[in-house]
Amino acid sequence: MVTSMTMQEMADAQEDTKKNQASQLQHLTTESQNEASQGFDTKSAIEIARIINHEDAKVAAAVKKALPEIAQVIDQVARCLRDGGRLIYIGAGSSGRIAALDASECPPTYSTAPGQVQYIMAGGPKALASAVEVNEDSEELGQRDIARRRPTRKDIIVGLSASGRTPYVVAAVAYARARGAHTAAVTCNQDTPLAAAADIAIIADVGPEVISGSTRMKAGTSQKMILNMITTGTMTRLGYVYENLMVNVHMQNSKLVERGIRILMGACKIDRETAVQTIKSAGRSVPVALVMLKAKVDKPEAVRRLAKSDGNVRLAIEDNVLEL
């Protein structure tokens, strides 16, 4: 006969869980003490800066080892966005804030629709400015928050957690994967629950932090580098970059208008007046203006070509069918 747990048994089980989590943390590289920063509190300002700089120099090398997995994610995100799906980041604490930054910069940089690249932060938007890190321990909240976005097979969910064991993030990624969504993990430790929960695991093993466990430092830097690669690579694969120019820039202020003019001048080797007039006739669209000039077509034809190529500027100029 099966009986329900007593209050004492439930308390004992919770205590065992806490002890198990504490034991796991002790073995994480990101929680280990860094020999290079021993006696850190006795150092001068220049010594502190040198130690941090020396440790930061290791980040790019750690990210380099994960390039094959990063490339896989870039291609998968590009496929999802092309099929009308979404890239949804989910994270907690510093990881969530980095995810929010990357997602929020895609619309002004590449003129993406607001819903194409999204973020979910443990604790909600208020957690961006005020720490509510307790939410990251809740699997239920992670499942609830991703469920509200209704993930499908068209979407890719990317979970970020330096430790790789944040319950909120692991549960959200597992939920999305179970419902057919593509999933990826970005973490800084080997053999983690988050990596196991995702289709693709990007692991940047940056080693112990200068301040033990302060994963806003090297771990956070690696995550920022990786997300930069994912969205920049994706938008380039989609054709929103021509050569190395930000041709899909959303000209919403004077700085961005000037950038659009300079992009057109450089790409087409034209003077400023011609660039300004072409952008005006193109409806303030740099991609349309670029296709008009490069392919020597009028605005309606440029618009038609861009629609045919799903916004891929190079293919619109060459009037080729889209292949990705």
Contact, 207 vs 29, CB < 8 A? Answer: yes
Q: How far is CA 14 from CA 17, 168, 170, in A?
A: 5, 17, 19
Neighbours of 294 (CB within 10 A): 17
Nearest to 175 by CA among 201, 203, 145: 145
Q: Which of 55, 69, 136, 209 is catalytic?
A: 136
**Separation between Cα atoms, residue 56 and residue 18, nearest integer Å:** 32
Contact, 69 vs 200, CB < 8 A? Answer: yes
Q: Is 273 a catalytic residue?
A: no
Contact, 249 vs 102, CB < 8 A? Answer: no
Q: Is 136 a catalytic residue?
A: yes
Contact, 227 vs 99, CB < 8 A? Answer: yes
**Separation between Cα atoms, residue 292 and residue 268, nearest integer Å:** 10
**Separation between Cα atoms, residue 190 and residue 211, nearest integer Å:** 20
Q: Which of 35, 47, 69, 105 is catalytic?
A: 105
Contact, 126 vs 135, CB < 8 A? Answer: no
Q: Which residues neighbour 172 within 8 Å (Cβ) at sequence distance 6 or greater?
A: 90, 120, 142, 143, 145, 146, 157, 159
**Separation between Cα atoms, residue 102 and residue 174, nearest integer Å:** 22
Nearest to 167 by CA among 152, 199, 145: 145
Residues noted as catalytic: 105, 136
